[in-house]
Amino acid sequence: MNTFLQNMLLGLMNGGVYALIALGIVVVYKSTRVLNITQGQFLVIGAWLAYTFLVKLHLNIWLAFSLTLVIAAALGFFIERVAFRPLIGQPMGALITMTIVLMAGLEGFVLWIFGGFIVSYPDFIPKEPLKLAELVVSQQSLWMFIIAMVLIGIFAAFFKYTRAGLAMRATAEAHQVAQSVGISVKTVFGQTWAIASVIGAVGGILLGSLYGVSYLLGEWGLVVITVAIIGGLESIGGAILAGLLLGILEKVAVGYIDPLIGGGVETVFPFVILLVVLVVKPYGLFGLKEVERI
């Protein structure tokens, strides 16, 4: 029983970060109908920027992280303005092609600038594990989860109570209706990409503090894409619940199935769950079913 609870706890820690990063995919899709497959590259860029400011330039930790987030927001806004703004009104195939080209270009850029090395942050979070009754949890994982949950709460409040959040919600419902009440849809598009990039940078810092900083962090982008699709690409709540659920199921499966087959479950498990969900609910657990009438 302790093993089961331990795996659930570890999965919950990872699931919180999954949920946070998946929000960057959902918010872009809701507003622009573009599947943001570059979220993994935002992770890598954010992680490397923070490492550069902290270790190479020896900046204060708060200044380093603040600069990272500012640059990440500027990058997201720039990508929307240069890569996707000219494609408004173009066929979906053009958007899909651009996302693939952008993902490959950012990955190549990161390898060119930062290389393929694996480096570590300074120990700004204690590494000694905490013991909760019979369970053991890493302080890094615990703080990673707490930070992710706090940021999800902040984002939810922003989306619900601010004018910018209201504009994003209106744009997500219908572009023409939003424009008719004076909302600049193009500005909202830029804001959503900036937010997605910032979320990716935060996720990159959190994951980098636990697993090290390298281009390999980009592989987590594939996992959070499955989280966004499982939850429903238009559902923020769905992304949060799917992230937590997938994190828990993943660790439980690793704990019980890995010993039987010799490992490798963690690599394929998210995609197996995605396949099962799509067979049962093609629009995701909380996605909106589209009905076309002729």
**Tens of pLDDT, residues 128-184:** 778 777 778 888 888 889 999 999 999 888 888 888 888 887 777 676 777 777 778
Specify the pLDDT at position 77.
Answer: 94
Which of 47 and 180 is assigned the larger pLDDT? Answer: 47
Specify the pLDDT at position 194.
Answer: 94
Given a contact cutoff of 8 angstroms between Cβ atoms, the answer to whether 77 and 190 are in contact is yes
Specify the pLDDT at position 292.
Answer: 45
- Angle, vertex CA 214, rays to CA 153 and CA 192, nearest 5: 35
Choose the most confident range, by mean pLDDT, from 114-128, 132-146, 228-242.
228-242
**Encoded tokens for 30:** 């809701």
What is the pLDDT averaged over residues 249-270?
Answer: 82
pLDDT tops 90 at residue 197: yes
Cβ–Cβ contacts within 10 Å for residue 180, how many? 10
What is the pLDDT averaged over residues 43-72?
Answer: 94
**Among the listed ranges 66-75, 237-246, 256-265, which one has the minimum average pLDDT value?**
256-265
Average pLDDT of the chain is: 86
How far apart, in whole angstroms, are the C-alpha atoms of residue 118 and residue 288? 41
pLDDT tops 80 at residue 89: no
Which of 193 and 127 is assigned the larger pLDDT? Answer: 193
Specify the pLDDT at position 142.
Answer: 87
For the chain, list the domains and their CATH numbers: 2-280 (1.10.3470)
Residue in 249, 247, 270 with CA at minimum distance from that of residue 16: 247
Cβ–Cβ contacts within 10 Å for residue 177, how many? 11
Specify the pLDDT at position 44.
Answer: 94
What is the pLDDT averaged over residues 68-96?
Answer: 87
Q: Which residues, including other chains, have CB under 8 Å from residue 252's CB and lie 6 or more apart?
A: 4, 7, 8, 11
Q: Which residues, including other chains, have CB under 8 Å from residue 183's CB and lie 6 or more apart?
A: 167, 170, 171
Which pLDDT band, with edges at 50, 70 and 90, does 258 fall under? confident
Specify the pLDDT at position 202.
Answer: 94
